[in-house]
Amino acid sequence: MPYSAMRVERDDGLVRLTFCQPARGNPIDGTFCAELCDVANELSSDSGVRAILISAEGKSFSFGGDIAMFLENLDSLPMQIRKWTADLHVGISRLQRLDAPIVAAVQGICAGGMAGMIAGADIIVAEPSTRFVAAYAGIGYCCDAGSSIMLSRRMGLSRARKYLLLNETLDAQTALAAGLCDEVVAADAVHARAEEIARQLAAGPTAAYGEIRRLMISAATEPMDSQLEREAQALARIAGTADAREGLSAFGEKRKAAFKGQ
């Protein structure tokens, strides 16, 4: 399916999702919201997806919400926001439910809803010039795009709250220390490093990754007994997969496992 705000490319289990409106700062607008939902639905129905690499064209990853679009719709903005977020939030939720891990390569400014959405990636690689900008309070708004959830998971509730309330801008090293990104590498190596990680994940046990992703999400809210049962049931499900059988066989035979994502 053709998209205008983003591009989807498949490469042997690895899906590259690239935001491709650099002249506009890769904004989150109505088109982006609708297309992200469509992309999430497309990937959710494709059992061959084993890892997703998110990147963006241009000097900056994204300036976040499209302020110009907001200004054009001031009188109808509450209703418009309900429509836009209906698409955006479904897309984000469905990407989070995938078995396939998500890796992001971030450069320049990553602001507002995009900072929150990208915080939901499993691995974030940033270049030294990256700036994660809270943005919301600066225009008198609260957060969306999963920011309250994703930022809290990555930085902890207190640090995420401070970041949002004080409308902070975190440079790459500060974001690394806070947990908002996982690696900081040279600008000319950030995309190569992110792709290296994504390819490693794309060659791994996809179903097991999915169970790990979901267990890490529920760990913050489930009581211990409930979470332990979730772990037991997930492990039992995985024990019946071809990849788990291959992993054990490879270990016993002292060779590298050849996972198929099944």
pLDDT of residue 137: 95
Encode 71-110: b = buried (16+ Cβ within 10 Å), e = exposed. Answer: eeeeeeeeebbeebbebbbebbebbbebbbbbbbbbbbbb
pLDDT of residue 68: 86
pLDDT of residue 17: 98
**CA-to-CA separations, 22 to 19, 28, 111, 198, in angstroms, rounded:** 8, 12, 14, 23
The H-assigned helical ranges of the chain are 30-44, 67-72, 77-97, 112-118, 147-155, 157-165, 172-178, 190-202, 206-218, 224-239, 242-252
Q: Label residue 230 exposed, middle or buried (CB < 10 Å: 0-12, 13-18, 19+).
A: middle
pLDDT of residue 69: 84
Strand order in the sheet with 6-11: 6-11, 14-19, 51-56, 102-106, 123-126, 183-184
Positions in the chain short of pLDDT 70: none
pLDDT of residue 70: 85
Q: What is the pTM of this model?
A: 0.94
pLDDT of residue 63: 96
pLDDT of residue 75: 87
pLDDT of residue 60: 96
